[in-house]
Amino acid sequence: MKELEQIRTMYQHKNKDIHNLDTWNEVKNLFLGKNGYVTSCMKEIKNLDPKDRKSFGEAVNQLKNEITVLLDKKKVELENLEIEEKIKSMPRLDLTIPTQEECGSLHPVTIVQQKLIDVFRSMGFAVEDGNEIETEYNNFEAVNIPKHHPARDMQDTFYLNNGQLLKTHTSASQNRIMKKYGAPLKVIFPGRCFRNEELDASHENTFFQMEGMMIDKDVSISNLIYFMKTMLSEVFGKEVNVRLRPGFFPFVEPGFELDCSCPYCGGKGCKVCKQSGWIELCPCGMIHPNVLTMGGINPEEYQGFAFGLGLSRLVMMTYGIDDIRHLNGKDLKVLEQTKVK
């Protein structure tokens, strides 16, 4: 028994000297190997007096188990330490870096919108962000669409519990912007609009427009034609002609439908323009005196024009997209065509 205690004490000292798996193997063989201290004690059991064999055998087994548990624990520590050292020596790896080489690109609406913004900025227009949630007043009354006006039937939208609504057109920002800047002003305000529509290839419940206004003294329709023609020529990269057709919109007087000559066939007629040579683009006109008055601008002193450009439609024309629902969808084959290589 005294010898077993000496072996236990000896192991406790040796355990402190184990710093790697090589020294671990040496210590294991020294105590539990074929000729180790504990193994030698177990061989002596048969030489003891029969009455002492049981107690001595139990003590030897207990010592063997103790040393085995301590060796196993030490081995786990050494293996973990070895793994940590390997990790430290490895090149730093950022697991957040995408593994695919191909990257995404800007959405086609974003690309065309930014191009339009650049064109209008070059002509002196400021750029404003419009609210997507608007008051009923700004969306309807402030643009000369009072309650029970038939134009509201064409702009059914989504109402919130607080009485506000999702704007149906970018014109909803006109009143706020006029009150913010006063006159004179030149500003565009792109944005996302919402309507309760039956979905098909040309109708979506979520779409994009770009509104523009110019208010100053002696502003006329000729100013409107100049800016729209310049903008379209820049977008399509070629000279285009524009024409105005009479149209009714409550917030302008007189009101027009603006068409541009088809950029695909040069006005000769094709499937895009339905053989007419012209493409209907946007409503526009001279801002109604009531709208100017509600915006805090004297219509006797200032005049202005406004236009509502169908941004989603212009994107479809630019990239040959035949279904407006693709712009809010996930079809990468459609979006891939706008990717910058």
When mean pLDDT is compared over 26-30, 38-42, 83-87, 214-218, the highest value belongs to 214-218
Find the mean pLDDT for residues 73-80: 88
Question: Does position 118 have pLDDT exceeding 90, yes or no?
Answer: yes
Q: What is the pLDDT of residue 263?
A: 74
Q: Average of pLDDT values for 280-308?
A: 92
pLDDT higher than 60, residue 260: yes
175-213 confidence digits (pLDDT tens): 999 999 999 999 999 999 998 888 887 788 899 999 999
Query: What Cα–Cα distance (Å) separates residue 170 from each residue in 56, 137, 209, 289, 339?
Result: 95, 14, 6, 19, 27
Angstrom distance (rounded) from CA 193 to CA 157: 9
Mean pLDDT of the chain: 85
Residue with tokens 């177990």: 42
- Of 27-41, 42-56, 190-204, which range is least confident? 42-56
pLDDT given at position 66: 84
pTM of the model: 0.65
Q: pLDDT at position 340, please?
A: 55
Closest by CA to 280, choosing from 253, 231, 314, 255, is 314
Say yes or no to pLDDT of 276 above 90: no
Q: Which of 3-12, 99-108, 212-221 has the highest mean pLDDT?
A: 212-221
Domains of the chain, by residue range, sit at: 2-89, 108-338
Q: 298: which residues sit within 8 A by CB, 6+ positions away?
A: 292
- What is residue 338's predicted lDDT score, i.e. its pLDDT? 67
- Which has the higher per-residue pLDDT, 270 or 65? 65
Q: What is the CA radius of gyration of the chain?
A: 41
- pLDDT-based confidence at residue 142 (cuts at 50, 70, 90): very high
Q: How far is CA 136 from CA 142, 144, 152, 191, 290, in A?
A: 9, 12, 11, 17, 17
Whose CA is closest to 280, among 258, 265, 312, 307? 258
Mean pLDDT, residues 92-114 taken together: 79
* Overall average pLDDT of the 22-50 stretch: 81
Q: What is the mean pLDDT of residues 54-60?
A: 79
Q: Binning pLDDT at 50, 70 and 90, where does residue 322 land?
A: confident
Does residue 341 register a pLDDT over 60?
Answer: no
Q: Which CATH class is domain 108-338?
A: alpha beta
